[in-house]
Chain A
Amino acid sequence: MKRRIEIGILLSRTGGYAAISNASFTGAMNAIRKVNEDPAFAIELSPVVRDPEGQIDLYAPQCKSILKDSTARHILGCVTSWSRKEVLPVLERADATLWYAVPYEGFEASDHVVYMHACPNQHLLPLLDWAMPRFGKRMHLVASNYIWGWEINRLAREVVTTSGGEITGERHLSLGETGVEDMVDEIIEIRPDFIMNSLIGPSQYSFVKALKARMPGLPILSCNLTECELPLMGEAADGLIAAGPYFHAPGLDFANSHEAAAYASTMEMARLFHAHPGGENLPLADLLALDNGAGPIDAQTHHTALPALIAKAEGGRFVVQQSLPARPGDPYLTRPERHHRRPSLRIVT
């Protein structure tokens, strides 16, 4: 008889970034099915699902609802950093844990969060290291107007200007805004070497389509784009460049890195709960202390080691251009030995 453990799933399966949430949802559900069918696990996972519909003010109440209406103390979810920041106080009060499985901008190491996807030393830094020797150092920044865009831009600006590059402009759009003409006009006028794109959702889709139509050869780079959003841009997506820990290829299990990270998160929960009966009710720090470094989560930062891949979209899929081995997450960029910066003259294709 398996021990039944409830876990929360807090994902906006509708709204502006539903494609990403649904990829995460698929990964979590596949992992739950796998655990429940596998007799080697002494536990059975039972999902307690809430859908905040992409509305920021629904995250804290729905997180509370999971914690009040079920025994779940571990919740997989949130896509935007804004929503993660909304649930942090709720988690802290309940000593509960969020498993956050999408790329983010770093500068956080909560005692109540596991960061299972990439942070800047695993996406932005390798991406810029790869891009500058190829395209040049005149970078143009476009971003959605919230913390992901602001921080990615701030860091990209610091890295590029430190290497002697130039920022040709920085433009922001409100979340959901699709009026991109001024932004595109300006880029046509300036002709930068490449675009660092931190737009999300419909803004990104409109921007990519509009810019591709007018300047198809200009490289557009992203730190959070995966296969799950390529169909939303159709042929305009061809040539987009993204950094991430995983891209799908024939023979690989997951459709995209969101699905892979949500699957890995859920499997790691299952491993911990199986190995440490009662661990599902412990605060994260206590559970990790009990586990004594047996899993992939760094006890100090709660981040994981991930490979850094650079890939280019071709015909609806990503083709890896460069693959760097796993490096530990360094959320505050204070551990330079974790950056493994490639000598900038070496060209690898």
Chain B
Amino acid sequence: MSGRVRILDLAGARAAILHRPHGNVSAIERQLRAIGLSVESHWPELPPDLSVDFLFFDVDMGFDTQFAWKPGESPMPMIALIGSEAPGRIEWSLSHGAHAQLLKPVGDNGVYSALLIARAAFEAHHRSASRIEELRERLSARETVVRAVMALMAQGMSDEVAFASLRRMATDRRESFEAAAARIIARHDHPKSNGSGS
């Protein structure tokens, strides 16, 4: 993963601020508009049809039922607005998966870096989550692979040749190693369907 940030695609981005009306909200709104984002503010509830690219949320007065998603599964980067640095509130903010933070009182700057950092953290989180899911699937297919290799060895192949054969089948059909293994087992378990081409 490169540390480069993309600056040329914030054009037209939208942000929402979940915070009671306050000078801090005006300061964030001013910065967002200067940067070029459109902005809406809500408190205490978010509209059900919320459609924004970034969400700033209040950590001091925030509560779980404000969000329509499970903690840590926000559909957009979240930026925590922290006033009281009490550990309980920081824990709550972390449980909701804050991708970046801004300390209150909000002054003349800080919003732009928070946007870029939150977006990078959000994307990194999603990349690792999908990688973990992929690895989990491969792990759970371990037994399938072992059975497929054993089935091929039962036909007289050595273990090395069996592995190579599986890998070649996967490459030829542009499928995963695990999917190829699953087909071997199906063929082995239902030999009559072999050769049907599907």
Contact = CB atoms under 8 A, between A and B. Distances in A.
Interface stretch (A44-52, A105-113, A188-196): A105-113
A42 B137 CA distance: 78
A335 B7 contact: no
Given A158-B7, A158-B8, A332 B30 contact: no
Contacts of B13: 334
A76 B80 CA distance: 36
For the residues of B in contact with A, the DSSP-based class is loop
Given A300-B34, A334-B13, A111 B7 contact: no
Given A334-B10, A334-B11, A92 B108 contact: yes
A88 B10 CA distance: 25
Nearest to B6: A158
Nearest to B27: A111
Interface string A113-136: 000000000000000000000000
A332 B109 contact: no
B62 to A, nearest CB: 27
B36 interface: yes
Given A88-B108, A92-B108, A111-B108, A336 B33 contact: no
B47 interface: no
Q: Size band of the A side of the interface?
A: 20 to 34
A94 interface: no
Contacts of B8: 158, 162, 333
Interface residues of B, number: 17
B112 interface: yes
B7 A109 contact: no
Contacts of B37: 334
Interface in A296-310: 300-302
B94 to A, nearest CB: 29
Given A109-B31, A333-B7, A334-B11, A92 B36 contact: no
A155 B10 CA distance: 15
A155 B6 CA distance: 10
Given A88-B108, A92-B107, A333-B7, 17 more contacts: A92-B108, A107-B7, A108-B109, A109-B31, A109-B34, A110-B108, A111-B30, A158-B7, A300-B33, A300-B34, A302-B34, A332-B36, A333-B8, A334-B11, A334-B35, A334-B36, A335-B11
A311 B7 CA distance: 28
Interface of B: 7-8, 10-13, 30-31, 33-37, 107-109, 112
A109 B35 contact: yes
A296 to B, nearest CB: 17
A280 interface: no
A110 B8 CA distance: 20
A227 interface: no
Contacts of A285: 30
23 contacts: A88-B108, A88-B109, A92-B108, A107-B112, A109-B34, A109-B35, A110-B108, A111-B30, A111-B108, A155-B7, A162-B8, A300-B33, A301-B34, A332-B7, A332-B35, A332-B36, A333-B7, A333-B8, A333-B11, A334-B11, A334-B12, A334-B35, A334-B36
Contacts of B108: 88, 92, 110-112
Given A110-B108, A111-B108, A112-B108, A335 B30 contact: no
Contacts of B33: 300
A332 B36 CA distance: 7
Contacts of A335: 11, 36
Contacts of A333: 7-8, 11
A330 interface: yes
Between B11, B30, B31, B33, the greatest number of chain A beta carbons within 10 A of the residue's beta carbon is seen for B11
Given A92-B108, A110-B108, A112-B108, A332 B10 contact: yes
A189 B98 CA distance: 49
A113 to B, nearest CB: 9
A301 B108 CA distance: 12
Given A111-B30, A336-B11, A330 B36 contact: yes
